Amino acid sequence: MWSRRNLADFRRCVADLLQDADVQRMHAIPQHAKGIDCFDHSLFVAYLSFSLCRRLGLDERAAARAGLLHDLYLCDWNQTTVGLFERLVIHPGMALRNARRFGLSGLEEDIIRTHMWPVTLRDMPRHRESWVVSLADKLCTVGEVCAFYRLARVRARLQPERA
């Protein structure tokens, strides 16, 4: 999964997005575990989704790009009164609105909109890539909470300049 070729091809797919100010703003938003921010999480989801889609012969570029943007909701919930369940339900729509200016394909829109399924019952994935990103999101979340992220040095692998 961490092969040089995979990492180089992945970086090529998301290079323009990584330079974007809004994408960088995700660094200021805390995510599932202490010391891991929304950018760290999104980059992890994007890379796992890219790797899985490459293995499965699916659209790895769409998975990487929509994976990186899937949580671009840009809101620190700690500064709001929004409850946990509501956050889970509304943030894919918020992320989709923010991500649309990147000129998303229909597949990329579906990936972002449906990534929280089954919490968002009506928004079920319509494409195989969407299923992959939704699964990767859940796997990465578990990996972050249970310390796999730190132990596997995921940040150092994906963001060598920030490790």
Q: How many residues does the chain have?
A: 163
Looking at the Cβ atoms of 40 and 71, the one nearer to Fe ion is: 71
For 44, residues 6+ apart whose C-beta sits below 8 A from its C-beta are 140, 143, 144, 149, 154, 158
Looking at the Cβ atoms of 60 and 71, the one nearer to Fe ion is: 71
Place of tokens 């330079």: 19
- The least CB distance from residue 41 to Fe ion, in Å, is 6
- The least CB distance from residue 80 to Fe ion, in Å, is 16
Q: Does the footprint of Fe ion cover residue 40 (CB under 5 A)?
A: no
Looking at the Cβ atoms of 40 and 137, the one nearer to Fe ion is: 137
Tell me which stretch binds Fe ion (CB under 5 A): 5-13, 55-63, 66-74, 153-161. 66-74
CA separation for the pair 41, 27 (Å, rounded): 10
Short-list 62, 19, 26, 22, CA closest to 42: 26
Structure tokens that stand for 160 in this block:
């060598």
- The least CB distance from residue 45 to Fe ion, in Å, is 6
CA separation for the pair 41, 143 (Å, rounded): 10
- The least CB distance from residue 95 to Fe ion, in Å, is 7
Site for Fe ion in 130-159 (CB under 5 A): 137
Q: Does the footprint of Fe ion cover residue 71 (CB under 5 A)?
A: yes
Structure tokens that stand for 83 in this block:
């409850």
For 151, residues 6+ apart whose C-beta sits below 8 A from its C-beta are none
Q: Does the footprint of Fe ion cover residue 123 (CB under 5 A)?
A: no
CA separation for the pair 150, 83 (Å, rounded): 28
Tell me which stretch binds Fe ion (CB under 5 A): 2-10, 14-22, 68-76, 151-159. 68-76
Q: Write out the residues near Fe ion by the rule CB under 5 A.
A: 71, 137
